[in-house]
Structure 1
Amino acid sequence: MEPGNTITHSLSVPDSLVSGLSFADSYAYLDDWVLEALGDMGIKAWYQPLNDIATDVGKIAGAAQKRVVGRDGGPGAVLHHVTMSYDIDADEVVAAGVSLANRCPFCVDAHTVLLHATGDHRLAETIARGGQPEDPARRQLLYWGKDMSTAQPFPSADAPEIIGTALSFHFINRIVSALLTESMLPCGLQKLRAVRSAAGRRLARTVRQELTTGLSLPVRESVAAWDGVTPLPLHAVLPDRAERPGARLALLAARAPYRITDEDVAAWLVPPFTDHCLAHLIAYGAGCAVGRVEATLTTQTKELA
């Protein structure tokens, strides 16, 4: 735990609330409200005896409890403290840095809102004001996002995700700047801190949800097996519209964009997805196709050399 990435929740309740419970049971009982709050953010966590809270990635919190005896035999109280260590996704900080470098106000505001969604409101507002994060690690990530020619301030294990995020937003920033206005919300409402914070709270669960690996595989496998020329057969099996509408759209965008129907779009374009998200999904499919065509050209060039 470090300054800037910890938060302490304190709870004071009458001792009658835990009367008859052992210390272990009372820790579990009083930690329930923390677990519920984490669940609302999409974080799956559980009580771990005697006084820890754990997730799939390890311990994220520890609790301390003190029971206070009432004066002159009167009602007592229980003080329950939970100190939590949380890590802001480096992706959002890097994406904000890239967006600042590319002078894309729309994307800078969007990532400010997403940082609010992760729970670090101070960091979100610091970046919104054009300031420098207090935490050295976050400051280095933001700086690297602005200038990727500098040394990478993250472990090699995180490189694919972080570099991929940075490159993606070099693409997205340009599309957004070319096709959208600078304002993310009507009348520039995103400039108000209260609006940014409220929008972040609405997105908290989405930001923290667990992603299922392999959702893009139908697209990548189909494109990888494609020769870059032959049209997608009419009888080709497509991802089911009801079960995997996103994979279906991206695959069609890559192999047969002329076959995309209103029904295909409507099946996927439901909240929290927006037209902005739709553009990203279609661009992903199109990008896969371009990459496959490029690979074909590279192979031909090598054969001629």
Structure 2
Amino acid sequence: MGRILRTALRRSLNQVRHVTPVRPGAATGLVAVVYADVEADFGMLAPPVALHSPAPVALAASWALLRETLVASGRAPRAVKEAVAASVSRSNTCPYCVTVHSATLEGLTTTTFEDVEAWADRSSPVRPFPVEQLPELLGVAVAFHYLNRVVNVFLGDSPLPANAPAPARRFLGRFMGAGARGDRPPGTSLRLLPAGPPPADLAWSSGHPVLGDALARVAAAFETGGSRALAAPVRDLVLDELAAWDGTPPGLSRAWVTDAVADLPAEHHPAATLALLVALASYQVDDDVVAAVGGDDARLVELVSWSAFAAARRMAGLLHRATEV
């Protein structure tokens, strides 16, 4: 069953929407290096990472973000990190990530972490773990506020095929749990990206020996891609909306985004609409919104990545400020 699951998960690259990911056999350069690292450390070529491959730097940034927060060994146990990942994913209505990380947690332990999950979804300000674990768990929150948004745009609701047998979820947990065990030294992904200036809003990570450096590199990479994919007035609008946002989902109506983009020149409306939806309500993104943007796959990946990471930074800041330390 493990081999079947690995094959099924790898084939789920066929489920990627809107862009065409680089196939493993065709990967070269930075894409090939990242793919090899993902396979080695994660046990499989995870589609939420591989879908970034039309934009190689965004691919490297997405992997560095996931690896140095969730995968790398550190002060917080992997099971606690998986509880944060699953909780954040539920709060963002990302069923794909909920399935993967709930199953991984079940494959690692029978312990439940309701208090950690309540902290991660901001329903409780109480910090139910040692303070030295806070940067790593905030890092996991950043990673999954980012990945949930990207997955909601580019992937479906489940990593398993629609015709998967009933026991598949149980075996998924065993497979993912087995892959999550063992030590993985932090910092190996840093070589993939140049150093970047430490962002002020991520200062909570600065005392960690690797995490602060990793997040600075990731932030610089996404910022560079965003500046290619989105005009400055659009980026400014998204940042202004995020600065005023308390993290509450805006609901099912999209009237708010129509109002928000109204003062921009008409040629910016499609990209601004997609960027705002990715940031504040990724579950509202549909085929028409993506198609209206146009452009090549690399631009679309960079647009979504920049918007998702901007929102992830905001959400981690809200969580940090709400935490009782």
Which structure ranks higher in relative contact order (CA pairs < 8 Å, sequence separation ≥ 6)?
Answer: 2
Q: TM-score, normalising length from structure 1? A: 0.38
Larger fraction in strand: 1
Q: TM-score, normalising length from structure 2? A: 0.36
